[in-house]
Amino acid sequence: MQNLSPRLAAAADAPVSPLAGHPAWLRLKEAVEALRPLQSKDGSIDLAAVQRHTVDPIVATVRAAVKELAPHFPHDAAYLAAVDTDLAKWADTGYREPDFLDSLLAFQPAEQREDGLEHLVVFPMYTQNGNPDRNLEAVLLSVVWPDWLAELERTRFDNPMFVPITFTDFTAGYDTNSAVLFPETVSVRKAPERFTWGGIFCDREAARFRAVSTSAVQQLGLEIPADAEGLLQDQQRAQETFVLWDLVHDRTHSHGDLPFDPFMIKQRSPFWMYGLEELRCDLTTFKEAVKLETEGNPHARDVQYAILFDRLFRFPVTGDRVRNYDGLGGQLLFAYLHKHDALRWRDNRLSIDWERAPQVTNALCGEIETLYRDGIDRPKPAHWIAAYQLVSRYLTPHPASTWAKGPEALPLDITEGKALNKALCDAVLPDEFPLSMFYEALSKKLGGVIAATAGITGAGNQGAAA
């Protein structure tokens, strides 16, 4: 495999929208960045500490820029008008905690999924896996909805809320690891009765995947098939891979034998429950991709490579070790493949049995599905314990773990449900399943590459305002 630097591996030839250089967009970005240090964590501005005459002109610039850009987005006319109204109301409150519920309700990108359709998005929000504060952010983006994907969604993987997107440009909250645009991150006075869309930036996912996987393959001496090598070299192909992966993954949260709320909202659970749910969705996608491959789908094999590489290489060594549920899922997949001889680490080289790996991966999916199906008839503590036992069959718990000692060591004598749930969660160590020696070494090798992917896009752009 040829040597590719992480940035070269992430580069694409896609043209940049002219809106990225529009004077009004540049003024909007500058104003948002000027506003950022004035805002508190909840998005408010303390006028006792900041002079109002400093804030008002900045917000006026934001409003003027949005109005100037609005004619480029006639399909978002109602939304952008609502943004202006919400900005004005925010100013009228003296810049208390912002409330953009009206503009959030007016923005409905899932109702107009057209390939290449552009949107200007302006919200006070936190960016998941990015900026935790509800700063005002602005994003230029484009919808990805090719005919082949629309046909699969219509006929096989119904998912009316799913909106795959790519970055055109963005403010600093997205010069991070965030690859999603979710309505639940927006600052509002009350949550809507239901959320109707969710955006995922397939260009960032694809570019990050290519950079990290390319480095991992080289450093681990892994021999990969020619079509996998081609995937790592092709940004457009990788983006198409991720939109199919995300389409199936996202819908899987609400499909299957589910013993709990599909998105586990408003529930407190041990982190391995979230890890198993995310892994279940990925492995279900993998299983569906195996089926699609037999039917001749040109993207199906790529989806299998992407799930294996991202889960095995990036997920386990990304983020800190405090209840890292995605990291846990990656570790579990590696250990399962290793214990079933579909993956070997020998003579300081990694090898994968490319014929056996799909069968073994589907077998792990089956074990998780059985856990879920049985869980419907179990009380919650028993289900949590069964899930822990499944994980610990393949991953070694921390030597000091209370959970590893078995049910007799857990505070199961507490009778009140919420108190019992809290006590069981409190007994979980921050790093209940530490990294193996293999992953400790891999973390040191890939740490710099993963850190360098913050802010990456399909065009190799490493930041909002370079």
Kindly list the domain boundaries of the chain, sorted by start residue: 6-203, 205-452
Helices and strands (H and E) in the chain: how many: 16, 7
Q: Could you give the angle at the alpha carbon of 324 between the alpha carbons of 318 and 328, nearest 5°? A: 90
Q: What is the mean pLDDT of residues 97-116?
A: 98
Tokens of 186: 């927006």
pLDDT in the model for residue 7: 39
CATH level 3 topology of 6-203: Fructose-1,6-Bisphosphatase; Chain A, domain 1 (3.30.540)
Within a 10 A sphere around the Cβ of 462, how many other Cβ atoms?
A: 15
Residue written as token pair 């934001």: 62
Task: Please state, in angstroms and rounded to a whole number, the distance separating the CA atoms of residues 59 and 67.
Answer: 12
Distance of CA 245 to the CA centre of its chain: 12
Q: What pLDDT digit, counting tens, does each position of 347-380 carry?
A: 999 999 999 999 999 999 999 999 999 999 999 9
CA nearest to 165, candidates 116, 213, 209, 234: 116
Tokens of 371: 């856990």
Q: What pLDDT digit, counting tens, does each position of 229-278 carry?
A: 999 999 999 999 999 999 999 999 999 999 876 655 557 899 999 999 99
Task: Go through 228-244 and write b for each residue having 16 or more CB atoms within 10 A of its CB, e for each that does not.
Answer: bbebbbbbebbbbbbbb
Q: What is the mean pLDDT of residues 109-134?
A: 97
Continuous segment of H or E residues that includes residue 105: helix 101-106
Q: What pLDDT digit, counting tens, does each position of 272-317 carry?
A: 999 999 999 999 999 999 999 999 999 999 999 999 999 999 999 9
Instruction: Report whether pLDDT(139) > 80.
Output: yes
Phi, psi (rounded to 5 degrees) for 120: -105, 125
pLDDT in the model for residue 266: 57
Residue 141, strand partner residues: 119, 167
Q: What pLDDT digit, counting tens, does each position of 164-219 carry?
A: 999 999 999 999 999 999 999 999 999 999 999 999 999 999 999 999 999 999 99
pLDDT in the model for residue 459: 79
Q: What pLDDT digit, counting tens, does each position of 45-86 carry?
A: 999 999 999 999 999 999 999 999 999 999 999 999 999 999
